[in-house]
Amino acid sequence: MTQAKQITGPMSYASCEDFCRVFDEDMNSVYQLAFLLTADREQAEQCFVSGLEDAVEGNPVFKEWARSWARRAVILNARRLINPRPAEGNSRGRSSSDSVNNNGNALPAEQQAEVAAVLGLEPFERFVYVIMVLERYSDQECSVLLGYTRRDVIAARTRAFQQIGSATEMHYRQPRNAGLAKPDRSSGLRFRIAPHLAASA
């Protein structure tokens, strides 16, 4: 007696339209990912556009993977643009427009503090924090994406947690923010900002 086998059709590949739809539907979060990695509005816009082009023109991927593949393309473009290295000590200052939302209005102080804590990290620590904590990649995956050892990325993650913890604690100790509740940092910062979307995005 032969066993009945379930026959399933082949998984379909993501098309150009699929990736365009992902970037359109997830425009805010994808741009925010690019901005947190680059800490620069113009470079974030560049990563957003290049990420879409690479996702569309790159190797075929299954449709079910289109969303994660699109975000990965943005991460890779940011890495090529910034080239973060361990303990390089070349942190970038934020522009004067980094504390406004996509409508040009200033962000509330609490949200500015959350974003500033990440943007204030050294580039390598910032990349590791965003990739591992916010994007939830494993240490091995992050190591492959950045081209450095697991030891490097784990050490960078530890430094990032320490620096972000110190920065946010200092902010909420300031008298002008005495009435604000402290954020729950048990699982990392919870971003609620609207990204700085460019008109051309």
1.20.140.160, 1.10.357.10, 3.40.50.1820, 3.40.50.620: which CATH number matches 16-84+105-177? 1.20.140.160
Q: What pLDDT is attached to residue 108?
A: 56
Question: pLDDT tens track of the chain, all 201 residues?
Answer: 444 444 455 689 999 999 999 999 999 999 999 999 999 999 999 999 999 999 999 889 999 999 999 999 999 999 999 999 998 554 444 443 454 444 344 555 566 777 889 999 999 999 999 999 999 999 999 999 999 999 999 999 999 999 998 987 887 777 654 444 444 444 344 444 333 333 333
Question: What is d(CA 58, CA 112) in angstroms, rounded to the nearest whole number?
Answer: 36
Question: Is the torsion defined by CA of 146, 152, 158, 164 positive or negative?
Answer: negative
Q: What pLDDT is attached to residue 9?
A: 53
- The phi and psi torsions of 64 (rounded to 5 degrees) equal -65, -20
By the 10 Å C-beta count (0-12 exposed, 13-18 middle, 19+ buried), 139 is classed as: middle
Contact 72/17 with Cβ under 8 angstroms?
A: no
Question: What is d(CA 44, CA 88) in angstroms, rounded to the nearest whole number?
Answer: 21
